[in-house]
Structure 1
Amino acid sequence: MRRTALTAIIILLLIAGSFFAARYLFEDPGYVLIAYNGYTVESSLWSLLLALVFAVVAIRLIAGSVRLLIGSAGLIYPLSAKAKQRRAQKLANKGLILFANGHWQQSQNLLAKAGDMGASPLYSYLVAARAASANNDMDACKENLRKADEVAPAAYMAIGITQAEAQMTQKQWEQALATLRSLRKKSPKHPYVHKLLKQTYEKLGDWQALADILPVLRKLKVLNGDALETLEQKIYHELFEQAWNKGRNQRDKTARVAPANVVWNSLSKAQRRNHELAYGYARCLYRLGADDDAEGFIRRNLPAIYSAPLIRLYGRLDSDDKGRQLLTAEKLLAERPNDPDLLLALGRICSRDQLWGKSREYLEASLQLRHSLDTYNELGRLMAQLDEHELSSGYFQHGQALAAEEEV
């Protein structure tokens, strides 16, 4: 209400002012003479003032028009740029959907085009490279990686990892290894690079290289505890297998066991306490015909590395000093009186030392604790040695029946 009244008052004042101005305009228009350099301009005062007002308004209109034209040009460009950006993003989104659905060729084409149009170019080129690799088009893959490097050279790790994964997809293991080693130099603590290295070394069968990076895999927690332990066992199983292959044809015993000793000596203190690794080393020595070396190794490290496979192996060793071997096993029996594997080992040691009675006692005690094919067979052989053929035949038959049950 107050605003309406104020507006009305202003309008009345303007009307009154216009009336008085018109009155003075007609009563005394005034006179203005302007002379300059031989030119003169004559006019009434009010006419001159009106001309000046029109001039100012014209100048302002011209300036406003110029600004409008400039602003229109600036408005058109952003609109066209935004439209182009929206189109590029649509291409990228469609390309990603096609990639997720396994349409590699179409995905690669759309994402490469989207990258060229500036839609998240690094990401678009990297996914385009993956699509090209999945489509077995390595030339297109390399071209997209090159473009990615041009738009974002600082993203060398992401580009390199994509390249390595593409090479692995194509089973180009040597090339992938070269790429990953280069990345590892640039980023020595990168977990995913080490995970890819682990996979590549496994495919190449480079078990020593895997053993070398095993501490880093553990430190970076690339694998969980169970997976890491499984990998460690596999690595050293393969390394001891290689050691056996290297040494088995050597006539000299020292030369035969040297490769196995190299593997064992490369282990850390913690690894040497690992039952599986200790068994792998002792078994390798046994297979190389170095029974005394294996017996000495097991005896020196018992009971710290005691395990069922290891004690069964100890019972198979044909040591030159069978008395010491028997004494070692009997000392363990005082600590483990109900261990069927240890009793089986004692029975075998006594049989080789022709201690038939003790062997029978140990083997029968083992059989009472656990029915096993090995124990039945050992008793069968022992009874045959003692000319108790009916008993021998019975033990062998029980063993065959047990084996048949286990197969089922």
Structure 2
Amino acid sequence: MRLFIRLVILFSLAVGLAVGARFNPGNVVLFYPPYRIDLSLNFFLFLMLVLFVVLYLVIRTIVTTQTMPRKVAAYRQGKRERDGNKALRESLKALFEGRFGHAEKAALRAIELPENTGVASLIGARAAHHMGQFERRDAWFASIEDDAPHKTARLVSMTELLVDQHQAEQALEAVKELNASGTRHIQVLRWALKANQQAKKWPEVLKLVRTLDKHRALHPALSNRLRELAYEDLLKDHGHDVESIRRVWYEIPAADRKNRFVAFTAAKTFNARGLHEDARTIVEKTLVEEWDDRLMRVYRDASAAEGSAALLSQIEHCERWTEQRPTDPELALTLGTLCLKQKLWGKAQRHMEQALSDAIESRTVREANLKLAQLHEALGQAEEAAQHYRQCAIATLL
């Protein structure tokens, strides 16, 4: 419809010009002595129109020629940007698809565009890392070392990849640089936690676990297990003397001291240092909160001297626990062992035989037979002692 209207207008103008020119008797005379040129007005106007068109085309050609290099440069720049951005998108897609070789090749094309250098280098570094090409990965990181806008992204990526490679010390250097720049968001704290765990820097692990717990950024089971591992290492440090062990134990928060594993580790450590009274106290307080057979074994090892009030107190504790757990083999074995040490022969035999009948683990069976053999030996019953020694040996082989 628009074309039709334009044609009508064009034809109307042509008709108007033709009619107007027909009734135009004017002349134009050009004098340039000794020459004289006579032209009709219509022809003169036509020549002016032709001259205008020619001049316009000449000027337009000159301007176009002058702007051609700039347009060519802009076209080439636009093409580079389109190709670079396309390569960047391809590298990201390939990285997420797990095609790391293709991702690195696409990153090499994308890096030709200066604006893509930082992001493309990060993609290339990740792709090289996943292919086990750690030198190429480091080269990618080095290419953006002085790139301020991508510094945080580079350091966080380095931390993650170095932790994945189990290069804990290098990862911690990256974390230190991040901390210096004031970057301490949740993901950085998680990678710092893993790096310190790999480096076995347990005091730092504890600090980070507490920080992440405040932000609810760790699963409770993982948080609890990391605390256990940290306390285990701190308590088992062979460089600690008696007072240092006590100081480490009492520096542990009260809520964590109630943890079965932590209490077991502490009691075992105290026993190893000859601090049996401390070990007994730890076990007795912990068992009020939660039962654990491992604590019973430590409690046996922490038995007091024969005839002492502490040994009698241990027997009383075990008897109270027996009322609540009458079929627990570890508890029965512990009570029998303590009675044996106190030379309460009848009670010792009864409880150890009960432990033997209820026991499932071979270790409990072996220890119960050994204690019964010692009891019969002390009573001069050689045949019964030999029989239990044989049962102990059989349990050892199982």
TM-score by length of 2: 0.79
What letter matches 1:123 in structure 2? Answer: V
Aligned-pair CA distance for 1:280: 1.1
Specify whether residues 218 and 278 from structure 1 end up closer, same or farther in structure 2 by C-alpha distance, changes over 3 A only.
same
Structure 1: stretches of 5+ with no match in the other structure: 248-255
Aligned-pair CA distance for 1:284: 0.9
CA distance in 2, matches of 1:195, 1:12: 80
Please state if 1:263 is matched with 2:256. no
Please state if 1:29 is matched with 2:26. yes
Residue in 1 aligned with 2:313?
324
Per-residue displacement from partner, 1:13-72 (whole Å, max 9, x unpaired)?
Answer: 8447525623x34xx33456899xxxx998654454334333433344345445654675
Higher alpha-carbon deviation: 91-100 or 229-238: 91-100
CA distance in 1, matches of 2:143, 2:69: 32
Specify whether residues 379 and 34 from structure 1 end up closer, same or farther in structure 2 by C-alpha distance, changes over 3 A only.
farther
CA distance in 2, matches of 1:194, 1:7: 74
Residue in 2 aligned with 1:144?
140
Please state if 1:122 is matched with 2:118. yes
Higher alpha-carbon deviation: 50-59 or 366-375: 50-59
Residue in 2 aligned with 1:252?
none
Structure 2: stretches of 5+ with no match in the other structure: none
Aligned-pair CA distance for 1:219: 3.9
What letter matches 1:53 in structure 2? Answer: L
Specify whether residues 170 and 298 from structure 1 end up closer, same or farther in structure 2 by C-alpha distance, changes over 3 A only.
closer
Specify whether residues 8 and 304 from structure 1 end up closer, same or farther in structure 2 by C-alpha distance, changes over 3 A only.
closer
Residue in 1 aligned with 2:155?
160
Please give the secondary structure, in 2, of the residue aligned with 1:205: coil
The total of aligned residue pairs comes to 383
Specify whether residues 14 and 82 from structure 1 end up closer, same or farther in structure 2 by C-alpha distance, changes over 3 A only.
closer
Aligned-pair CA distance for 1:276: 0.9
Aligned-pair CA distance for 1:285: 0.7
Q: How does 1:247-286 map to 2 (within 5 A)?
A: 247=240, 256-286=241-271
CA distance in 1, matches of 2:72, 2:128: 37
Q: How does 1:35-184 map to 2 (within 5 A)?
A: 45-66=41-62, 68-69=64-65, 75-85=71-81, 87-88=83-84, 93=90, 111-112=107-108, 114-118=110-114, 120-130=116-126, 134-137=132-135, 144-151=140-147, 153-165=148-160, 167=162, 172-184=167-179
Specify whether residues 147 and 279 from structure 1 end up closer, same or farther in structure 2 by C-alpha distance, changes over 3 A only.
same
Please state if 1:334 is matched with 2:323. yes
CA distance in 1, matches of 2:193, 2:93: 29
CA distance in 2, matches of 1:101, 1:11: 65
Q: How does 1:170-319 map to 2 (within 5 A)?
A: 172-186=167-181, 189-220=184-215, 223-242=218-237, 245-247=238-240, 256-319=241-304
Q: Is the 8 A contact 1:329 1:346 kept in 2?
A: yes
Please give the secondary structure, in 2, of the residue aligned with 1:148: coil
When the two chains are superposed, the root-mean-square deviation of aligned CA atoms in Å is 4.0
Specify whether residues 316 and 5 from structure 1 end up closer, same or farther in structure 2 by C-alpha distance, changes over 3 A only.
closer
Q: Is the 8 A contact 1:96 1:111 kept in 2?
A: no
Please state if 1:388 is matched with 2:381. yes
Q: Is the 8 A contact 1:189 1:220 kept in 2?
A: no
Please give the secondary structure, in 1, of the residue aligned with 2:111: helix
Please give the secondary structure, in 2, of the residue aligned with 1:331: helix
Residue in 2 aligned with 1:373?
366
Aligned-pair CA distance for 1:169: 6.8
CA distance in 2, matches of 1:7, 1:168: 75
Percent identity, aligned pairs only, is 19
Q: Is the 8 A contact 1:112 1:124 kept in 2?
A: yes
Specify whether residues 188 and 326 from structure 1 end up closer, same or farther in structure 2 by C-alpha distance, changes over 3 A only.
farther
What letter matches 1:297 in structure 2? Answer: I
Q: Is the 8 A contact 2:260 2:286 kept in 1?
A: no
What letter matches 2:176 in structure 1? Answer: R
Aligned-pair CA distance for 1:289: 0.7
Q: Is the 8 A contact 1:136 1:170 kept in 2?
A: no
Residue in 2 aligned with 1:356?
345
Specify whether residues 7 and 136 from structure 1 end up closer, same or farther in structure 2 by C-alpha distance, changes over 3 A only.
closer
TM-score by length of 1: 0.77
Aligned-pair CA distance for 1:376: 2.1
Specify whether residues 69 and 185 from structure 1 end up closer, same or farther in structure 2 by C-alpha distance, changes over 3 A only.
same
